[in-house]
Amino acid sequence: MSDEYKAVDSLEAANNQEGQNLSRRKWLKKAGVAAPALLLLANRPAMAMGCTISGFMSVQLGTSLTVHDGATCNGWSPGNWKNQNGQINAWAWNATGETPNSMFKSIFTTNRLSSTYIRKVVGGVPESMPMGFTSYLSSTLGQELRGKTKTNSITQHAAAAFLNAAFLANGGAGSNPDPWMLTYPNVEDIIGAYLLYEISHLSAGILQASSDTVYQLERNGILLGRSDTMTETEYSSFFNSIADGGGSQAWQDGL
């Protein structure tokens, strides 16, 4: 028996989930091959428009022919991650580098950003230095996934979207990824898009911004989104559409 299958058997014994042996063996055999997934993610288009905040905004504004297609952008939902069954188990959580007890605000912070950043724009002039900002929510990933805090589906689905992106960035897709895995937003874009939401809709009065202040999300000089062009409902639609539970069971089963 290979080391890979021994690891699978060990995980199954630890989780004590009888009747799922075959699907889990197939999943971990596939997901254990990290390099092809990383290559696929590294070589995807720089702006997979339909699955980015900018692609979604351009569709909403009618300025692009791009279609924000849930069939190619969707990922596992908050329910998938919080229940840790089916396509999600302890191995999947481990691949994200986080746990349900990780603090939401330790993830959704500009401290985690490098190529993606938020810039304050006053009177139409962007400030030279990116701004620092950390989520106001003192909750855990697990609490947000369960919807137990005084928030809404935006934070739930943003948490799941982050986990999807982190899972993929660490090679979780393996050598035969589902279509949504190829064009999924990266970790930094998801963090940046969520922070832009908090700045736009949850921080009124706290930032003490003037009426003509705008915040914009950029990646390496490319504009991804602006705080004055997305309503709260539209943020909800965006995060719901990329974490709607559409991840394929067939992928997990190796079909």
The 10s digit of each residue's pLDDT in 32-90 is 433 333 333 333 333 344 576 666 655 454 444 344 454 567 788 898 898 876 667 78
Q: Residue 176's CB: how many other CB atoms inside 10 A? A: 14
Q: Contact, 215 vs 127, CB < 8 A?
A: no
Q: Measuring CA to CA, which residue among 240, 250, 66 is closest to residue 164?
A: 240
pLDDT in tens, 213-254: 889 998 888 888 888 887 888 888 888 888 888 766 666 665
**Three-class SS of residue 225?**
strand
pTM for the full model? 0.76
State the residue for tokens 């106001």.
136
Backbone angles phi, psi at 69, to 5 degrees: -95, 110
Q: Contact, 216 vs 248, CB < 8 A?
A: no
Q: Contact, 242 vs 51, CB < 8 A?
A: yes
End-to-end C-alpha distance for the chain, whole angstroms: 23
pLDDT at 191 over 80: yes
pLDDT in tens, 142-170: 999 998 776 678 999 999 999 999 999 99
- Non-local (6+) Cβ contacts of 149 within 8 A are 137, 139, 143, 155
Strands 125-126 and 213-219: unpaired
**Three-class SS of residue 186?**
coil
pLDDT of residue 168: 92
Alpha carbon distance 41, 248 (integer Å):
18
Highest mean pLDDT among 154-163, 173-182, 200-209: 154-163
Alpha carbon distance 141, 27 (integer Å):
24
**On the CB side of 51, how many CA atoms lie within 13 Å of its CA?**
25
